[in-house]
A = this chain, B = another copy of it.
Amino acid sequence: MIATDEQTPLSNTSCDQAVAPIGVFDSGVGGLTVVAALQRMLPHERILYIGDTARVPYGGKSAETVTRYSREISDFLIAERAKLIVVACNTASALAVPTLAPSSSVPLLGVLQPGAVAAVKSTINKRIGVIGTKATIGSSAYEKAIRSLDSDVTVSSVACPLLVPLIEEGLFDDEVTGIVLRRYLEPMLAQGIDTLVLGCTHYPLLKRAIQNICGPGVTLVNSAENCALAVKDLLASQTEVDSINHNDHRLDIVLTDSSEGFLRVAVKSLNLTIDTLAFRQIGK
């Protein structure tokens, strides 16, 4: 069930405002894969999710634009008293987090670094594949992060611009998705990768189809799962971050455009329960 709440300011929602939320944002709704992982690992936390659906997608846009959008949303989340910010978007993690994290007043965590760490842990033959948006792959951010952890690793990267549109149409087990996936994956598989980073928060929704093509010899690294683990570690380790067990499990979602689009597909696929859904203009 989704309670739609277009008018009420967030500070007037029924949730206990003494409980600072974990702020999570994405260009759209794909970052809900990170929310699902966070809820499994941190079931007592309140999560405030922003989907920038008025400007989605980020995956083909420049570092300058993506950084501007990410700064506006981070400022919004800090104004909503987020105790930490999870950038649940690989493109923003690659292009904006390096600029924004050092000056952020709360910890700001991307999905990229946890994914790179997990990939390096997973690989045996030191051949890792990465799939992502054009912007993520174009930035070489995964390649740099992985090779800074282990310079012996060979990284093969492929931009997969058609996957997000196919996923947003709910075509998870479709002939077209199969053909497109094989085109993207087969050249990397021919290079003998044993680990594949799903470098876009949409991609875990295609996990089964991707695993079928890759076969059991390739380990899929889900950046959503690994990011949630990193958040759990941060909350456990940092005393300055309020990490008390509040038992305030709730999920408030703000979208920047009133077209819900892919929201229903994602919520159903991820088995999420939304407490409130609001629409706000962020960054004009």
- Write the residues of chain A forming the contact surface with B, with a CB cutoff of 8 angstroms: 53-56, 60-62, 64-65, 134-135, 161-162, 165-166, 168-169, 175-176, 179-180, 256-259, 261, 283-284
List residues of chain B with CB within 8 A of the CB of A54: 55, 61, 65
Question: So how many copies of this chain end up in the complex?
Answer: 2
> How far apart are A81's CB and chain B's nearest CB, in angstroms?
24
Q: A-side binding surface: helix, strand, loop or mixed? A: loop
Please determine whether B60 and A259 come into contact, CB atoms closer than 8 angstroms: yes
A247→B162 CA distance, assembly (Å): 42
> How far apart are A258's CB and chain B's nearest CB, in angstroms?
4
Check A60/B261 contact, CB under 8 A, given A162-B169, A165-B162.
Answer: yes
Q: A54-B61, A61-B257, A65-B257 are known contacts; what are 11 more A-B pairs with Cβ within 8 Å?
A: A55-B55, A56-B60, A60-B259, A62-B259, A64-B257, A64-B258, A65-B258, A161-B165, A161-B168, A175-B179, A283-B284
List residues of chain B with CB within 8 A of the CB of A180: 176
> How far apart are A30's CB and chain B's nearest CB, in angstroms?
14
List residues of chain B with CB within 8 A of the CB of A56: 60
Please determine whether B135 and A259 come into contact, CB atoms closer than 8 angstroms: yes
A179→B180 CA distance, assembly (Å): 12
Q: Enumerate the 10 nearest inter-chain pairs by beta-carbon distance, A residue then B residue, closest first.
A: A284-B284, A165-B165, A62-B258, A62-B259, A65-B257, A54-B65, A60-B261, A61-B257, A55-B55, A62-B257
